[in-house]
A and B are shown apart, each in its own frame.
Chain A
Amino acid sequence: MEFSELIRTGQAQAELLRGPEMPPLRGTLCVTGHHLLLSPGPQATPDLWLLLLRSVDSIEKRVAGDAGTITLRCKDLRVLQLDIEGVEATLDIARSIEALSSLESVITSFPFFYRPKGLRLGEAWHFHPPERYYKRIARETRAWRLSEANEDFSLCPSYPRAVIVPRAVDDDALARSARFRQGGRFPVLSYYHAPRGTVLLRSSQPLTGRQKLRCAEDEELLRAVLAEARPGARGFIVDTRSAQAAKQARMTGGGTEAKAAYPGWKRLHRPLERGRPLQESFVRLMEACGDPEQSMDRWLSRLDGCRWLSHVKEALSTACLAAQGMEWEGACILVHGAEGTDSTLLVTSLAQLILDPLSRTMAGFQELIEREWIQAGHPFQLRCAHSAFSHTRPKHEAPIFLLFLDCVWQLGRQFPLSLEFGEGMLLALFDHSYASPFGTFLCNSEKERCLCEVRTRTHSLWSGLNQPKEQRKLRNPLYVPNPLAIWPSVEPQSLRLWQGLFLRWTHPPEPSEVAWEKVWQIATDQKTEGSQPTDSASEPQP
């Protein structure tokens, strides 16, 4: 397909307004296949302003006289205004942006064309292969093995090629268990908690249906997990739906594990919001954040009404529950909801951050996201197709990954020294998950990524983020390795709205940014101070 067909006009004169704190930019506006560019005249500053069209969430146009105004609301929650000379030009540009920003084809998207200087294609795709983690577990425990039963994605299209399962269960049994679980997502290991020898598993709901079907292989799989953990070990199934919803799911072929069929396993229901209600919560929160003039009471009532912080609290306390089960009860935990690709991943990944000091390092966190979100089949393309400003009716959109990032931010606020990455990292992940020049968050599963050859034809976000120049933005200068589990407080008084994200563009962050710079300075001073004596001592030489 030719982008030029969609571009109705090459360029126009325009002025860009980027919010109250930034000076407006004047210059020539250009629409290209993937970008909107504004090039200031030769006399002005030479920097080119660039916006990835993919990150446009909604577009509004207005014309008056012989000029027009386009308001762009971006997926990273920015609101931009373009004042364009000429009515025709305005309408043409608006239509071009509309058409180009909503292209659904993956292989014509920008990551397939993005070739930054200094990065080699395909180089960072092997930074964090989950296989490495799985192999280590298999080696350490001897109770688990790396299975290649899903090599051709036939058992489960949303799982990666390699999965880790109990050693006692063979590939045939896996295939049967997969047929008993929605989308083929049979129980696999998510995290091995070495200090207590317990494991965290995830899956999708069992397809018990109305007839209360059972599957011997599936039961055997879970029995094997308990048997190999420790004699007499117990297990908990954390179902992220309410008991009512789980029961109702039987009508549509789903359901939940019957008590009698899985001896040793107890079921806990912890309803977490997902899907459309979560998306609506996000939309309403952003509506509230978009109005700086509102009264105190109005703001508090809207903050309450959108329920976003309730979702944060529920997600965190469910993750704490799972983590506590492993750490304090020595129990094995299986987490699933319905499909096992959304709230399930939220809980398993948060539980690991709480328990595992390694996942709180920069590399460990990237590995966690790669393993527990990208490879585990969170459908990023569907969930992040639109952010909070879209006028189109949401279909599959849901800010589950954003909710995860918010929970991590809350952890970071309560344990400011325990995470190696800072708020900048979380903001970058949010931005890139919705629109990115990198291929990492493309597609919905590993299978789709293989079909599109994402690994060989696009750059990995991790190679972009791990460049030295990015580090000051992404790292936490105060990080001190903390080998303990971090148990957050989940009381409403302890949770706070993530201003750095939701109010990033409406709110001038300058004083705190300068302060953060000072923190960096103090922290880096300290690290470099040790080498200074020799440097300065060599100066007064004759």
Chain B
Amino acid sequence: MEHIRTTKVEQVKLLDRFSTSNKSLTGTLYLTATHLLFIDSHQKETWILHHHIALVEKLALTTSGCQCIRSDPVIQCKNFRTVHFIVPRERDCHDIYNSLLQLSKQAKYEDLYAFSYNPKQNDSERLRGWQLVALAEEYKRMGVPNSNWQLSDANRDYKICETYPRELYVPRIASKPIIVGSSKFRSKGRFPVLSYYHQNKEAAICRCSQPLSGFSARCLEDEHLLQAISKANPANRYMYVMDTRPRHRMQSWWATQKDIGRIIVRISSKIWNDEKIRESDGKKRLNAMANRAAGKGYENEDNYSNIRFQFVGIENIHVMRSSLQKLLEVNGTKGLSVSDFYSGLENAGWLRHIKAVMDAAIFLAKAIMVENASVLVHCSDGWDRTSQVCSLGSLLLDPYYRTIRGFMVLIEKDWISFGHKYSERCGHLDGDPKEVSPVFTQFLECVWHLTEQFPQGFEFNEAFLLQIHEHIHSCQFGNFIGNCQKEREELKLKEKTYSLWPFLLDDQEKYFNPLYSSTSQKLAALEPNTVSFNFKFWRNMYHQFDGTLHPRQSVFNIIMNMNEQNKQLQKDVKDLESQIKQHKNKQTDGVLTKELLNSVRPESPALKTSLCLKEQTLLPVNDALRTIEGSNPADNRYSEYADEFSKAEPAVVSSEYGVARMTC
């Protein structure tokens, strides 16, 4: 690879960002075409995929040895790993830095890891992997097509909407001209289509983008399509239209529009004719329009009957990006005090945003469960906030999506097929940094909050969510590459790359939630409680790689082990029973059976212990959960005193990191 200037550097130190004693691991750093590899003196390997590198910084550092200012690379990864290397020679350091800068930002899709990754599968296995999650089957499972909903072939060739999939479900009474008309009225042609159909309630979740109406312009086809959606629900005459954007944002959006001319064109004749506004100056007019837009939503309520408009305030991608940035800054602080942590958490606003997404999804689920009403969700383009709300809403309503396979289907349906722009949002290529935003991460975090609140509601565990998060950035598999289905087909991803899902299914034992209860009626539709107390900082996500911050023992592992043992023991019981029966058949004398039973009895305890041992080696402690039994105090903050203990210092009390050092 032409970008790699140096492939191997020895005597490199790896600093742990939370270890306080500045103790470091010394080892060798290797640069490969796809990974950065660090092997320490204990032969422990740390692999970092180039695609995971979000930021390489040179940190000015004064080394005690030579007192010269030098720079060592600090690498921040998209999976929230931060590594800090100290490279002994300035030139190597420079080479590594520049190589990583090149390698972490690829210009072409074809340079992504997925196109070179080869898990040694043949073509038919690869194809089977891609067919594992089939959306046509999923719609069949939901119960469409039926007498009210049908498959539309309008977008068969991506002619109506490039960012939608080919197969779309629409109300049966919506004709093709209506669809075409509506799509012209909606941003990026994303007209209202079915996202989820609730079979019992006969209500639907539909999604679209914002209308391009401005203020007045009506689109009869769009109005017809919405009517058709509400008529497709026999149980309820009215439907909801959820605009997931906050009102004040839209106001300010209108206020900041510089292109006044463009807006003037859209001005409704109704407002234009309003005497007061005509008399006032242009600026006031603009404000009035902004208010009108904000007050009424984009669709003009007068033109749509039987529709209830609902605003839920989820902020845009830029707010979310800077919120996460703030959160990571707080977390990365060494020697953080409790007070700084919570004020940082508050300032970042991250949990507030998570709560907003969750509240929106709950509103959606309630509209369907309680009111039997269909809901149409949109934001601006209908691929970020809309995906969050639709997918979370379906997750609350349908227990199938809370299974391992169902969750894959959900992601495939509401995120991948409906055109969430993974490549732009995750920054797969060297593109516009303003398009990067943790929208999908937020969705995963919402799901994690639900798993915390309903420990028995989900078939999968936290490790599953973390693994998916790992791979939306890794570009190791083809699923998340590209921004929409059309682009993915053009890239021939199904022929050139592999699907992630079969690999997750192969490992599914790791991702099972041992407490999962699939039959519980109470958990059919989830009704989470979103009081503020319930939202916690997701340590295992944002500190995945900071082992020193983790719980030292894992409950999940032990319960999994116990479950395995229970199964094994139950099997043994059956075996023994069948043996007894065999013996009985041979010996008709009942007295002998008793003897036999007696002979079985003393055996069982010994059998049990040997099985326990065997089982425990069968299921080794899961590395992903990082069980650190009796962890080392040197990893923790209070270990600063270890050095202090041995020194004889003058009596000084210095207050560092909010704790007083010892005096002597």
Asked if B638 and A309 sit within 8 Å, CB to CB, the answer is no
| B642 adjacent to A328 (CB under 8 Å) | yes
**Chain A residues whose C-beta falls within 8 Å of the C-beta of B533 in the assembled complex:** 289, 292, 299, 497, 499, 503, 506-507
Contact partners of A529 in chain B: CB under 8 A: 565-566, 569-570, 573, 608
Chain A: CB-nearest residue to B356 = A296
Of A266, A494, A512, A519, which is within 8 A of B664 by CB? A266
How far, in whole Å, are A429 and B646 apart by their CA atoms in the complex? 39
The answer to whether B336 and A492 touch across the interface, beta carbons within 8 angstroms, is: yes
Partner of B515, one of A242, A293, A307, A518: A518
Q: Which B residues are in CB contact (< 8 Å) with A313?
A: 338
Chain B residue with Cβ nearest A508: B529
Say how far B600's CB is from chain A's closest CB, in angstroms: 6
Q: How far is the CB of B354 from chain A (nearest CB, A)?
A: 8
Contact of B342 among A317, A492, A542 (CB under 8 A): A492
Chain B interface, >50% SS class: helix
Specify which of A259, A329, A491 lies most central, judged by the most chain B CB atoms within 10 Å of its CB. Answer: A491
Q: B273: CB under 8 A from chain A?
A: no
A25 to chain B: closest CB distance in Å? 24
| B433-463 interface (Cβ within 8 A of A) | 453-457
Query: Considering the complex, which residues of chain A in the window 466-525 have a beta carbon less than 8 Å from any beta carbon of chain B?
Result: 478, 480, 482, 484-497, 499, 503, 506-508, 511-512, 514-515, 518-519, 522-523, 525
By beta carbon, the residue of chain A nearest B534 is A507
- Closest Cβ neighbor of A496 among chain B residues: B536
* Interface presence of A413 (CB below 8 A): yes
Q: Does B605 contact A (CB under 8 A)?
A: yes
The answer to whether B337 and A310 touch across the interface, beta carbons within 8 angstroms, is yes
Contacts of B345 in A (CB 8 A): 300
Q: Is A298 an interface residue (CB 8 A)?
A: yes
Count of residues in A whose CB is under 8 Å from the partner chain: 87
Output the nearest chain B residue to A310 by Cβ-Cβ distance. Answer: B338
Contact of B600 among A310, A314, A533 (CB under 8 A): A533
Tell me if B553 and A259 are in contact (CB < 8 A): no
Question: In the complex, which of the residues A478, A480, A493, A515 contacts B455, with contact meaning CB atoms closer than 8 Å?
Answer: A515
Q: Which residues of B (627-661) have their CB < 8 Å from a CB of A?
A: 629-633, 635-639, 641-642, 645-646, 651, 653, 659-660
- Check A533/B576 contact, CB under 8 A, given A269-B663, A418-B553, A480-B558: yes
- A325 close to B (CB within 8 Å): yes
A536 is an interface residue with CB less than 8 A from chain B: yes
Does B158 touch A at the CB level, under 8 Å? no
Contact of A511 with B457 in the complex, beta carbons under 8 Å:
yes
Roughly how many angstroms separate A414 CA and B635 CA in the complex, as a whole number?
15
When distances are taken between beta carbons in the complex, the residues of chain A under 8 Å from B600 are 533-534, 537
Evaluate contact between A485 and B630: CB separation under 8 angstroms.
yes
B180 near A: Cβ within 8 Å? no
Chain A contacts of B632 at CB under 8 A? 487
Q: Are A486 and B532 in contact (CB under 8 A)?
A: no
A415 to B351, CA, bound (A): 27
Of all chain A residues, the one with the shortest Cβ separation from B353 is A296
Q: Which of A267, A299, A317 contacts B638 (CB 8 A)?
A: A317
User: Does chain B have a CB within 8 A of A396?
Assistant: no
Within 8 A of B (CB), among A434-469: none
Determine the chain B residues whose CB is within 8 A of the CB of A486 once the complex forms. 552, 630
Say whether A540 faces chain B, with CB atoms less than 8 Å apart.
yes
Across the interface, A533 reaches (CB within 8 A) one of B548, B553, B555, B572, namely B572
B531-571 interface code vs A (CB 8 A; 1 in, 0 out): 11111110100110000111111110011001101100110
Tell whether, in the assembled complex, residue B346 and residue A301 are in contact, meaning their CB atoms are under 8 Å apart: yes
With the chains together, A327 CA to B529 CA distance in Å?
Answer: 45
- Measured in the bound complex, the distance between the Cα atoms of B601 and A418 in whole Å is 32
Q: Considering only CB atoms, which chain A residue lies closest to B531 in the complex?
A: A292
* A78 nearest CB across to chain B (Å): 17
Chain A residue numbers with a CB within 8 Å of B543 are 493
Docked pose: A22 CA to B572 CA in angstroms: 44
B349 at the interface (CB under 8 A from A): yes
Residue of A nearest to B612 (CB): A526
Most chain A beta carbons < 10 A, residue from B531, B548, B576: B531
Q: How far is the CA of A532 from the CA of B607 in the complex (A)?
A: 12
Most buried by B among A259, A415, A495, A538: A415
CA distance A402 to B428 in the complex (A): 50
Partner of B663, one of A267, A296, A328: A267
Closest Cβ of chain A to B329, distance in Å, is 14
Bound complex: CA of A514 vs CA of B664, how far in Å? Answer: 53
A304 within 8 A of B: yes
B604 contacts partner chain A, Cβ-Cβ < 8 Å: yes
Contacts of A493 in B (CB 8 A): 331, 336, 341, 537, 539, 542-543, 549
Task: List residues 356-383 of chain B with CB under 8 A from any CB of chain A.
Answer: none
Structural contact, A297 and B346, CB atoms closer than 8 A: yes
Compute how far the CA of A490 lies from the CA of B566 in the bound complex, rounded to whole angstroms: 36
Known contacts: A301-B346, A329-B645, A529-B566. The answer to whether A489 contacts B549 by CB under 8 A is yes
Task: Decide if B663 touches A266 in the complex (CB within 8 Å).
Answer: yes
Please tell me if the beta carbons of A541 and B593 are within 8 angstroms of each other in the complex. Answer: yes
Question: Nearest B residue to A510 by beta-carbon distance?
Answer: B522
Nearest opposing residue in chain B for A354, CB measure: B633
Residues 339-356 of A at the B interface (beta carbon under 8 Å): none
Mask, B152-174, CB within 8 Å of A = 1, is 00000000000000000000000
| CB of A324 within 8 Å of the partner chain | yes
Residues of A within 8 A of B525 (CB): none
Task: Indicate whether B146 reaches chain A with its CB closer than 8 angstroms.
Answer: no
- Contact between chains at B604 and A243 (CB < 8 Å): no
**B355 contacts which chain A residues (CB < 8 A)?**
296
* Interchain CB contact under 8 A, A304 and B601: no
Nearest opposing residue in chain A for B664, CB measure? A266
Answer yes or no: B577 CB below 8 A from chain A CBs: yes
Task: Tell me, in angstroms, the Cα distance from A53 to B342 when the chains sit together.
Answer: 38
Q: How far is the CA of A114 from the CA of B524 in the complex (A)?
A: 46
CB of A390 to closest CB in B, whole Å:
23
Is the CB of A29 closer than 8 A to any CB of chain B?
no
Contact of B532 among A295, A321, A492, A508 (CB under 8 A): A295
> Which B residues touch A289, using CB under 8 A?
533
B527 CB, min distance to chain A CBs, angstroms: 10
| Distance from A322 Cβ to chain B, minimum over Cβ atoms (Å) | 10
Query: Which chain B residues (575-595) contact chain A, with CB distance < 8 Å?
Result: 576-577, 580-581, 590, 593
Identify 13 residue pairs between A and B in the complex whose beta-carbon atoms are under 8 Å apart, listed by A's number: A270-B659, A292-B532, A320-B633, A320-B636, A417-B553, A491-B636, A511-B457, A514-B456, A515-B455, A533-B576, A533-B577, A533-B604, A534-B597
- Residues of A at under 8 Å CB distance from B? 236, 242-243, 259, 266-271, 289, 292-301, 303-304, 307, 309-310, 313-314, 317, 320-321, 324-325, 327-329, 331, 413-418, 478, 480, 482, 484-497, 499, 503, 506-508, 511-512, 514-515, 518-519, 522-523, 525-526, 529-534, 536-538, 540-542
Since A485-B630, A488-B636 are in contact, a sample of 19 more A-B pairs with Cβ atoms closer than 8 Å, ordered by chain A residue number, is A269-B662, A296-B349, A310-B337, A317-B659, A320-B638, A324-B639, A324-B641, A414-B552, A417-B555, A486-B630, A491-B637, A493-B549, A507-B533, A512-B455, A518-B515, A523-B559, A529-B570, A530-B604, A537-B577
